[in-house]
Structure 1
């Protein structure tokens, strides 16, 4: 029995030394992984910015009729405000992610690294929420503008019965939900996977701090 107790004590000492050694090795790995994740998020945000710029430039390569309609819509004050606001938010988001990437890369303290990870998660959460709200607002604006400015559609709506009008509103509401849902799924797929990895690193750092 005495020999068994001595053996147990030896195991505890070995585990403590191993834990101390593994903790020193674990932090640089978690820092590197976290930095790599935020760097990937930064590149995705740049790709998204390029995508929206390319999408807005697409009408210039379409037919003259489509381009004329697009230019007419683009001169609308509301559309200009929404476009400028969207680009400003995306640029601000890119800046915040770049700032997070730099902060995480040079952080030499586990607690500070945890704070930076939490900040990054909040930035992404608010950015996704903003985009979902903006997508809904854009759909509503597009529907309102088209129904008022398109003579053919406007004349048809004028002769709609209450049932037809409610059906049109229902179809529009369903289309908006589907559109926003697709965007939400996109962000959940792309950002969700990376955020899960970042959250895993946060939990590991929490164990180090305990």
Structure 2
């Protein structure tokens, strides 16, 4: 049995000699190009995500639905405008950060610096996702607070309350809004983790490979 194992080892060593061996620089260049491509896609997706609501607004059906100003009826319009401005400013900041990370990675020629940029990019994506999901929950929270503070929510929303207790209807609507906020945030989180999570996992694999090379 040992003789057979020795023969197999020798045979494999002979084959290994004929296999192409990649140099350190060749492996680094492969990882560098893959990392640069991943960060470029993160940048592109963040731009598409930012522009998509504005493109949808060009559709008449979507624009007609937006004409129903729920926030103004609840008296929280100024809060929603303020949150929207904050969301725009921070989203543009993150998009700029993704572009900056892409430009920085594109010109690197050092493995340790590339590892550092990969780590920073993954952290930036993580903070961006947390911010976006946090803003969604915050906006839903403002709507829920506005509904809770409204003394006659049914009248504000022009709802018929025949044979229905207005207070009970109010809390049913608040419950529906709360559930909608949780479900919407969960779906959005799934989309984020599917898109950005897939890309950051690729970056993490590159990071681990670089770390192994530098060990």
Same fold (TM over 0.5): yes
1 or 2, which has the higher helix percentage?
1
Change (3 A) 1:145 1:54: farther
Alignment match, 2:94: 93
Aligned residues: 195
Taking the aligned partners of 2:144 and 2:58, their CA distance within structure 1 comes to: 21
**1:172–1:71 Cα change, 3 Å:** closer
Match of residue 3 from structure 2: none
C-alpha distance in 2 between matches for 1:76 and 1:45: 27
- Runs of 5+ unmatched residues, structure 2: 1-5
SS class of match (2:109):
coil
- Relative to structure 1, the CA distance from residue 187 to residue 126 in structure 2 (aligned partners, 3 Å threshold; closer, same or farther) is same
1:58-83 Cα offsets, whole Å, 9 max, x none, are 679744x9626379479922111111
Counterparts of 2:71 and 2:185, CA distance in 1? 25
Q: Secondary structure at the match of 1:108?
A: coil
In structure 2, the CA distance between the partners of 1:123 and 1:56, relative to structure 1 (3 Å rule), is: farther
Task: Flag the 1:68–1:171 CA change in 2: closer, same or farther, 3 A.
Answer: closer
| TM-score, structure 2 as length reference | 0.76
Q: Secondary structure at the match of 2:122?
A: helix
| Structure 1 unaligned residues grouped into runs of 5+ | none
Residue 37 of structure 2: aligned partner: 36
SS in 2 for 1:138: helix
**Any runs of at least 4 consecutive aligned residues in structure 1 with deviations exceeding 6 A, and if so which?**
none
* 1:69 maps onto 2:69 in alignment: yes
Say which SS state the counterpart of residue 160 (structure 1) adopts: helix
Contact preservation (8 Å) 2:140, 2:178: no
